[in-house]
Every structure is written in structure tokens, then in C-alpha cells.
Structure 1
Amino acid sequence: MYNGITYRKASCHDATFIGAIWNQGIDDGIATLEIDKRGAEWVKNWLSNRDPRYSVIVADNEGKIVGWLSLNPFSQRKAYMFVADISIYIERSYRGHGLGSNLLDQGILEARTNGFHKIILTMISGNEHARNLYINHGFRTVGIMHEQGILNNKWIDTEIMEKIL
């Protein structure tokens, strides 16, 4: 739907957009159990101090970042060095139009390029749009963690999914 979108690795210049989209995900309560907002300085520091293997990819619509994906360490233990945890955030007005699918394709390609064997993710149970996105890209559910966190004074279950690359 959006022909002008390109995908590239994030830079510190993208921090304001990344933070704003991240904060939408926090406000909406469907993408993360995170409750602390992320300002531009925090995001710049997060981007600057990452191992380059753990890429952050942005969806750039003619200079405006409208979504991002990050490959994150699953664990600091060396035995898990070939497993990446993935996060995706899409700007509200761009949701539901295939951007998440395209961004996930980019993330899977990047994970393979960076030598990962497997991608895992944890999502809020009941987010069927996200669940269907991941299933359509070859992820499978490996478990449910019951009452894993609290949002708005309510216990939230999370679903763990994986994809072997």
C-alpha cells in the first residue's frame, strides 16, 4: 500500500521516531509489557551501544520512520549466541496494511545474514493480528506464560513463539 517505503539499518538520527513509535506501543498496551516511556536520548544510547549483530531496521517512508524491528540478545550465555529475540513496532496509522509483514521479512533476512539459527519472540496473548503475522512467516507457538506481567492492574499472559531459520 505504501510504495515509498524503504528498509534500512537504524541510525541515531532515527531516535525521535523510534521512541515515539515505541511509546505508542506502550500506550496501546498490545505490543509490550514495558511501561517506561523511551525518550530520544535513551533510544540514541540504546542504538549506539548495541552489538552490530543485533540490528535495528527501520521502515522509512520518505524521511519519516513508520516502523522498526530489532534483533535482541536472547540471553548473555554463550550457548544462546545463535538465538535472537525479535521486536516489531509499527506507527499507529500504518498498522494493518502489510508493513509489519514487510518489516518481518527484512528482519528474518537480517537474522540469517547475521548468522542466527533461530528467532524467538514473546507477545501478549490475545493479540491475534500479531499472532497471525508470525504464523504466516513460519513461527510456531512453543508456550504460554500465565500471569507474566501486570498492565492496568490486570495480570497478562504472554505467548512464546519461535522460528528456526
Structure 2
Amino acid sequence: MLLGYAGVSTEDQDLRQQRSALREAGCERLFEEKVSGATRSRPQLTAMLDHLRAGDVVVVTRLDRLARSTRDLLDIAERLSAAGAGLRSLAEPWADTTSPAGRMVLTVFAGIAEFERALIVERTGTGRAAAKARGVRFGRPPALNADQVRLARRLHAEGMPARDIAATLGVHRATIYRLAAAEAH
């Protein structure tokens, strides 16, 4: 079955051209969406993906009507593939996973996206290492300053219960237990 997906990003945009092109392409059922590109929730896309059966082909007028990014497109293509369904774009004939050439192009895109993700991870790691070398601290700020840590350790050594130390310093008692555990090592 050919399933059409039509989408626009604002309420005042019209779906008529997409609807007409999808019907002309032979789509038996249409899923139409009017949602902002910034919105994560696309109920009609979800409904269409849930409706898929093996052998179905999702048809779109253009790929940007279906996906917001290459990563989004690849994620949708993976879901289609897992369901045994295909993808066809009317405006981009190379984007037809029902053909060997279309599957190859999508595989190349997936490889490029994976390479791009690896570069981002590498750059992020390098950036974090450089920031740490400059003294930048990551994560939550410490609950206690150095003087408070010394006081907590002294009170703990004197036998004061962690609950009372925590109340005195205005922190959760788990903070005091972590200090005590760190001191034991």
C-alpha cells in the first residue's frame, strides 16, 4: 500500500499541493500534519509509522516534509526498514528505498551521519579536555566549600552523627556520608 505523508510547518500553510501530488502518485491513505518544525510531537507521523505493514511504501512530495534533519530522516528510514516498508520522495528520485540505488544512497547518508557524529564526539572530548586544563569545572558545584569540609570532617571525627552535621551545614546527610567515605579511602 502507498501511504502519503504531507506536512507543513505553520497553520496558515496549505496542504492542497502535497495532497494532490500524493493522490496522483497513487497513495491510498494520507497522513497530514500542520506542526512547527521545532515541535517534537508529530502525531500523524507517529500514527503512520504505527500503521505500517511489510511491503508498504511511504511517499512524500519532498524529504524536508518528512524529516527535519539528516539524523531525523535516517531514524525514520530505519523504522521503515524495520517494518519492511519503503520510502519514496517525488521530488528526489534518488530517495527511493524500494530500489537498490535508493538504498545505496541512504546507506551513504547513514555513513556520513555516523562520521559526523564521531567528529562531534571527538571535538567535544577535545574541548572538554582543554577546558579542564584551563581549570574549568564541570558538573554541579560542590555543596560545601573547603572550610565547611574541614568542619564536617572534624565534627565527624569527634563522633557527631552525620544527621546532625548535615543539619548544621545545611546539606543532605548523604553529602556527609560521601565525605566520610572519601576520607576512609
TM-score calculated relative to the size of structure 1: 0.29
Higher helix residue share:
2
Larger strand percent: 1
- Compare CA radii of gyration and give the structure with the larger one: 2
Q: Select the structure with the greater relative contact order (CA < 8 A; seq sep ≥ 6).
A: 1
TM-score (norm 2): 0.26
